[in-house]
Structure 1
Amino acid sequence: MWEKEININDIKEIRVKTTVYFGIGAITKISDISTQLKNMGIDKILIMTGKNSYKSTGAWDHVEKSLNANEIEYILYDKVTPNPNVVQVDEAAELGKKFGAKAVIGIGGGSPIDAAKGAAILLEYPDKNATELYEFNFTPEKAVPIIAINLTHGTGTEVDRFAVTTIEDKEYKPAIAYDCIYPLYAIDDPALMVSLPKNQTLYVSVDAINHVIEAATTTVSNPFDVLLAKETIRLVVKYLPKALENPNDLEARYYLLYASMIAGTSFDNGLLHFTHALEHPLSGVKPELTHGLGLGMLLPSIIKQIYVAKPNTLAAILSPMVEGLTGDPSEVDKASEGVRKWLHTVGLTEKLSDMGYVESDIEKLTKLVFETPGLSLLVSLAPVDGTEDVVRQIYTDSF
Structure 2
Amino acid sequence: NEQEVTTMMNFNFYNPTRLLFGSGKIGELGAQKLPGKKALLLISAGKSAKVSGALDKTVEQLKAAGVEYVTCANIRENPTKELVMEAAEAAKANGCDFIVALGGGAVLDSAVAVAAMATNPGDLWDYVNGGTGKGRPLVNRPLPQVTIALTAGTGSEINNWGVISKTDTYEKIGFGGTPELVPVLAVVDPELMCTVPAQYTAYQGFDALFHNTEVMMSNGANILSETLALSAIENIAKYLPRAVKDGNDLEARERVAYGSTIAGMTMQLTSTTAQHSMEHAMSAYHPNLPHGAGLIMISVEFARYFIERHACDGQFIKMARAMGIPEADKAEDFLTALIQLQKACGVDGLKMSDYGFAKEEALTLAVNARETMGGLFLANPCELPDKACAEIFERAYR
TM-score, normalising length: structure 1 = 0.92
d(CA) in 1 for partners of 2:4 and 2:318?
A: 12
Question: Contact 2:10 / 2:222 at 8 angstroms: preserved in 1?
Answer: no
1:129 positional shift: 1.8
- How has the CA–CA distance of structure 1 residues 397 and 147 changed in structure 2, closer, same or farther, with 3 Å as cutoff? same
d(CA) in 1 for partners of 2:217 and 2:100?
A: 33
Count of residue pairs the alignment pairs up: 386
d(CA) in 2 for partners of 1:279 and 1:179?
A: 26
Pick one of 74, 89, 94 that aligns with 2:69. Answer: 74
Q: Residue 316 of structure 1 corresponds to which residue in structure 2?
A: 318
Question: Contact 1:228 / 1:266 at 8 angstroms: preserved in 2?
Answer: yes
Q: Residue 276 of structure 1 corresponds to which residue in structure 2?
A: 276
Unaligned runs of 5+ in 1: none
Q: 1:175-210: per-residue Cα shift (whole Å, max 9, x none)?
A: 022222111000000100110000011011100110
Q: Residue 39 of structure 2 corresponds to which residue in structure 1?
A: 45
Dislocated runs of 4+, deviation >6 Å: none
d(CA) in 1 for partners of 2:62 and 2:213?
A: 39
Question: Contact 2:238 / 2:323 at 8 angstroms: preserved in 1?
Answer: no
- How has the CA–CA distance of structure 1 residues 302 and 5 changed in structure 2, closer, same or farther, with 3 Å as cutoff? farther
Q: Residue 27 of structure 1 corresponds to which residue in structure 2?
A: 26
Q: Residue 390 of structure 1 corresponds to which residue in structure 2?
A: 388
d(CA) in 1 for partners of 2:89 and 2:55?
A: 23
- How has the CA–CA distance of structure 1 residues 227 and 4 changed in structure 2, closer, same or farther, with 3 Å as cutoff? farther
- How has the CA–CA distance of structure 1 residues 340 and 7 changed in structure 2, closer, same or farther, with 3 Å as cutoff? farther
Q: Is 1:336–2:330 an aligned residue pair?
A: no
Q: 1:361-397: per-residue Cα shift (whole Å, max 9, x none)?
A: 112111211222xx11111111111211221121111
Give 1:209-224 correspondences, 5 Å limit.
209-224=209-224
Corresponding letter in the other structure for 1:94: E
Q: 1:219-252: per-residue Cα shift (whole Å, max 9, x none)?
A: 2221112112211121112111211222111111
Q: Residue 133 of structure 1 corresponds to which residue in structure 2?
A: 127
Aligned Cα root-mean-square deviation (Å): 2.0
- How has the CA–CA distance of structure 1 residues 128 and 175 changed in structure 2, closer, same or farther, with 3 Å as cutoff? same
Give 1:52-131 correspondences, 5 Å limit.
52-125=47-120, 127-131=121-125
Paired residue secondary structure (2:111): helix
Paired residue secondary structure (2:82): helix
Corresponding letter in the other structure for 1:153: A
Question: Contact 1:322 / 1:335 at 8 angstroms: preserved in 2?
Answer: no
- How has the CA–CA distance of structure 1 residues 4 and 341 changed in structure 2, closer, same or farther, with 3 Å as cutoff? farther
Q: Residue 362 of structure 1 corresponds to which residue in structure 2?
A: 362
d(CA) in 1 for partners of 2:216 and 2:54?
A: 34
d(CA) in 2 for partners of 1:136 and 1:257?
A: 35
- How has the CA–CA distance of structure 1 residues 243 and 124 changed in structure 2, closer, same or farther, with 3 Å as cutoff? same
